[in-house]
Amino acid sequence: MKKIFFIAVAGAVLLFACALITQYPVYLRYAPEGERPQASAEFRGKVVTVTTFIDSRGVTNREVLGQWVDNKGEVILFVSSQGEPATSVTRAVETYLTQRGYTVREEPRSWNLDPQTINPGWGDWAIGGSIEKLSVEARADGVKVIYDLKLKFRVVVADVAKQKTKYEDTIESSSSYERAAFSAAAAERKINSMLTEAVERMLDDMERK
């Protein structure tokens, strides 16, 4: 009797656990793997406003980043765990700039990327951009798993006083690879590595202008 009860409970727990996996949360963030960026005395006097990035991916649900498809064709979505990805990308830019020594105004602000519409109270520079691509896809192919991750950002930096674009660029990155097993955590690490590299590239180029 006890054995039957144990098997029934174990089965119910397993069924309940499987039923809980309806999506895989992805915590998008700036996550440097080596040494963190060094603060520069050159930038300590600069006041920067980072406006919320515009999500231009053309998706219905902006929190969805992609999906995992197993060998049975069953689909589980990758979903941003911090709300809309535009907020996470904006926060990643703010984090990097703060670590570089800038004074960053972190209150949420929207901007259409036209320098003529800049608020004169936004400090020295206004930074904004758009998300053209940001996706995490994985699918089973027999005994292997194929991952496909993409991102494409447009960034615009404007001089607040002059109401003029100081720097503009598009950063694009993709990664396709195979693994023996599926890992949502590994996919999260990879997209954050790509996000971190993209943020550093766009802002390092900006500083050289």
Return the DSSP state at 38: P
Q: Residue 108's Cα: distance from chain center in Å?
A: 17
**Separation between Cα atoms, residue 201 and residue 30, nearest integer Å:** 13
**Separation between Cα atoms, residue 65 and residue 123, nearest integer Å:** 33
Contact 184, 78 (CB under 8 A): yes
pLDDT at 28: 97
Name residue 164's beta-bridge partners: 159
Among residues 188, 205, 208, 202, the alpha carbon closest in space to that of 31 is found at 188
Domain that holds residue 46: 2-208
- The count of structural domains within the chain is 1
Contact 49, 124 (CB under 8 A): no
Q: Any alpha helices (H) in the chain, and if so which ranges?
A: 2-20, 85-100, 184-208
What string of pLDDT tens digits covers the 209 residues of the chain? 545 544 444 444 444 444 567 899 999 999 998 776 666 666 677 899 999 999 999 999 999 999 999 999 999 999 999 999 999 999 999 999 988 888 998 778 999 999 999 999 999 999 999 999 999 999 999 999 999 999 999 999 999 999 999 999 999 999 999 999 999 999 999 999 999 999 999 887 777 76
pTM, to two decimals: 0.85
CATH code of the domain covering residue 123: 3.40.50.10610
